[in-house]
Amino acid sequence: MLPNIQLESALHRIRAITLDLDNTLWEIDSVIRRAESQLWTWLGENYPRIPEVFSPEDVVVLREVVIEKYWKDKSHDLTFLRKKALEMLAKEADYGNSLVEPAFAIFDAARNEVELYPDVLPALEELYEKYTLVAVTNGNANLERIGIRHLFHDVVAASAVGVAKPAKKIFDIAVRKCGVPAHEILHVGDHPVADVDGGRRAGLRTAWLNRTDAEWSEDLPEPDVVATTISEIRDLLANAVRES
């Protein structure tokens, strides 16, 4: 992490903020478990041969097979991977692919029923008024459905770009969306490699959002900022402006 004087100087120059979504603005693991549970219930009610052929554990194995098969070319597109798993599920249970879209719609609706961390909404509302905010995500969250799209000037999704963080390309596109040089952008995210190291390598300033009191890996260069909430980042930026 930068010494205080260097940090204040760096933060004073920030004009845009890029933000990760899953596990940065909301917790995602329990959301995915709930979405998969709702999907399984729906499949059992509408396609009863599936639970006759598969157990929930079998579905996990099947999805891993799909991921292994397509990961090299499609790791950036989680929607594609889930739909391919549904195709395989349908085929093995002797159903047609017509179940794929409605089944994915069930999962997707539940996947976007997230609970924002308490600090997120007030901090984003204030930051939006002062900085260009761009979401940068490897996931398939829908900010319109979640209800916070109005707090972002733009969104950069790995599925649309064709590569996922930490690839430099996705950050380069985010920089263009922000409309300012990379060193005037602060990237905020929870993942040490995908967010912090990826952002650093692309020339952005970085903030590690460490909500879980995790240990930083000694194998990676330290982030510019470590915080536990978006509110802390908002306050650091505000203090840097006041003290400049």
CATH assignment of the domain containing 37: 1.20.120.1600
* Apex 152 CA angle, 143 and 199, nearest 5: 100
Cβ atoms < 10 Å from Cβ of 207: 28
Cβ atoms < 10 Å from Cβ of 20: 24
Residues 101 and 124 placed together within one structural domain of the fold = no
C-alpha distances in angstroms, 86 versus 101, 104, 107, 216? Answer: 9, 8, 11, 37
Residues 22 and 34 placed together within one structural domain of the fold = no
Q: Quick one: pLDDT at residue 243?
A: 57
Residues 224 and 238 placed together within one structural domain of the fold = yes
Q: How many domains does one find in the chain?
A: 2
Residues 12 and 88 placed together within one structural domain of the fold = no
Share of the chain above pLDDT 90, in %: 91
Q: Quick one: pLDDT at residue 234?
A: 96
d(CA 112, CA 59): 21
In 3-state terms, what secondary structure has residue 208?
strand
Phi, psi of 187 (to 5 degrees): -95, 130
82, 111, 140: which is the final residue of a domain?
111
118-175 pLDDT tens trace = 999 999 999 999 999 999 999 999 999 999 999 999 999 999 999 999 999 999 999 9
Beta strand pairing status for 16-19 and 132-137?
A: parallel
Confidence category of residue 223, pLDDT binned at 50, 70, 90: very high
Phi, psi of 155 (to 5 degrees): -135, 135
Residues 103 and 164 placed together within one structural domain of the fold = no
Residues 89 and 187 placed together within one structural domain of the fold = no
Share of the chain above pLDDT 70, in %: 95
Residues 152 and 47 placed together within one structural domain of the fold = no
More confident residue, 10 or 124: 124
Confidence category of residue 240, pLDDT binned at 50, 70, 90: confident
For residue 92, how many C-alpha atoms fall within 13 Å in the half-sphere facing its CB? 16
Residues 18 and 49 placed together within one structural domain of the fold = no
Residues 150 and 73 placed together within one structural domain of the fold = no
Tell me which residue has tokens 């594609």. Answer: 80
111, 132, 153: which is the final residue of a domain?
111
Cβ neighbors of 29 (< 8 A, separation 6 or more) are 23
DSSP notation for 102-136: HHHHHHHHHHT---B-TTHHHHHHHHHHHSEEEEE
Domain harbouring 218, CATH code: 3.40.50.1000
Phi-psi region of 195 (alpha: psi -120 to 50; beta: other; left: phi over 0): alpha
Question: Does residue 2 carry a pLDDT above 60?
Answer: no
Q: Could you tell me the residue range of the domain that residue 230 belongs to?
A: 4-27+115-243
d(CA 92, CA 113): 30
Residues 44 and 130 placed together within one structural domain of the fold = no
Give the type of residue at 82. R
Q: What is the pTM of this model?
A: 0.93
Residues 84 and 55 placed together within one structural domain of the fold = yes
Q: Quick one: pLDDT at residue 133?
A: 98
Residues 120 and 106 placed together within one structural domain of the fold = no
12-30 pLDDT tens trace = 899 999 999 999 999 999 9
Confidence category of residue 33, pLDDT binned at 50, 70, 90: very high
111, 126, 158: which is the final residue of a domain?
111
